[in-house]
Amino acid sequence: MRGAILHDLGRTPSAIVSFTLAGIEAEEVVQRLQATQINVLVSPPSSTPLDAVKRHLPSLIRASPHYYNTEAEIDALVSALEKLTAGLGS
């Protein structure tokens, strides 16, 4: 997806996805998604201080899908993120 940067490490990723969207602060993304009934969180550098300092991480957007989330809900998240990034440059 244009403008999305994944910040997860490791060969075996979990369902939690930590990412940023280029040009949009994490707090703004969370607010805009919550306005459409999509729940994601801001993960500030203070929540993972060693990793954040070592990797110079900003506040991240954290999506935590679980077994009870439907494919339609995941599709809604992806669609909402695509709308947010639609105006970003290539």
% of the chain surpassing 90 pLDDT: 80
For the beta carbon of residue 58, count every other beta carbon within 10 angstroms.
Answer: 12
Confidence at residue 34, expressed as pLDDT on a 0 to 100 scale: 97
The 10s digit of each residue's pLDDT in 45-88 is 999 999 999 999 999 999 999 999 999 999 999 999 999 998 76
* pLDDT at residue 78, as a whole number: 95
Domain 4-85 coded CATH 3.50.50.60: no
Where does residue 43 rank: exposed (0-12), middle (13-18), buried (19+ CB within 10 A)? Answer: buried
Are 45 and 58 spatial neighbours (Cβ–Cβ below 8 Å)?
yes
Instruction: Measure the CA–CA gap between 23 and 29, rounded to whole angstroms.
Output: 10
CB 74 within 8 A of CB 40: no
Domain borders along the chain are 4-85
pLDDT at residue 14 is higher than 90: no
- Give me the pLDDT at residue 89, please: 58
Q: What's the predicted TM-score (pTM) here? A: 0.88
